[in-house]
Amino acid sequence: MTARVVGVDGCPAGWIAVSIASDGPLAPEVRVHARFADLVAETGDAVLAVDMPIGLPDFIGPEGRGPERPVRQKLGPRQSSVFSVPSRSAVMTEDYRVSCAVASASSEPPRMVAKQCFHLFPKIREIDALMTPALEARIFEVHPELAFWRLNGDAAMTLPKKVKSRPNPAGLDERRALLVRHGFAADDLVRPPRGAAADDLLDAAANALIARRLLKGEAKSFPAEPARDARGLRIAIWA
């Protein structure tokens, strides 16, 4: 049986996972999992490329969490898609106002929390509860726009996926066409499963191609020499 790798993105119903063959024709399989722990258990020893922050510093300095600035530098007009993730204590807070206060007290210069980032906190906590340094051999943080940048010859996509929080058909088509050039069939990319949106499917598919690069040792980390948080977790985005 051909080995598989998996690209993962958060979605309204939990986590959308696009599994592809580790080499040769992609033969994609798409599933939605309610819990990240179930996804990890059901994928055996497959490499997972996950669009969600992994590794949370106790304090955020002027350079940010670590991967964010070098990734933004690659993305040009798409750099706003890279959120500023606050300290671990802020992420563990479930009230937005309290989270902003904690984030401000644990950063220099003081920073609040963007609402879009705050809405990711439950999923960040879900991964954080499971992650260990040992799992880093198969679970890697990625970012879809950095994945598309890599797949596009190290050039950022020209169009946004969303405009005013609504899907941008032209931006989705641009990314879909790029994925087709990398081996997906167009029909694989137009019908997301229940509980996931069109952009979730495209992002997970792009992440799956980065998972192939990870398995082959071709992916690079941003930054090149990642720091680790107090739990020993690597803080890096890969592409």
Average confidence (pLDDT) over 101-123: 97
Which position has the higher pLDDT, 55 or 167?
Answer: 55
Tens-digit pLDDT profile for residues 63-109 = 999 999 999 999 999 999 999 999 999 999 999 999 999 999 999 99
Tens-digit pLDDT profile for residues 196-228 = 999 999 999 999 999 999 999 999 999 999 999
Q: Chain-centre distance of CA 147, in angstroms?
A: 9
For residue 105, the model assigns a pLDDT of 98
Sign of CA dihedral 187, 191, 196, 200: positive
Q: For residue 1, is pLDDT > 80?
A: no
Residues in contact with 81: Cβ distance below 8 Å, sequence separation at least 6, in sequence order: 75, 143, 144, 145, 161
| Mean pLDDT, all residues of the chain | 96
> Residue ranges per domain, the chain?
4-54+139-215
Burial of 137 (0-12, 13-18, 19+ CB in 10 A): exposed
For residue 2, the model assigns a pLDDT of 63
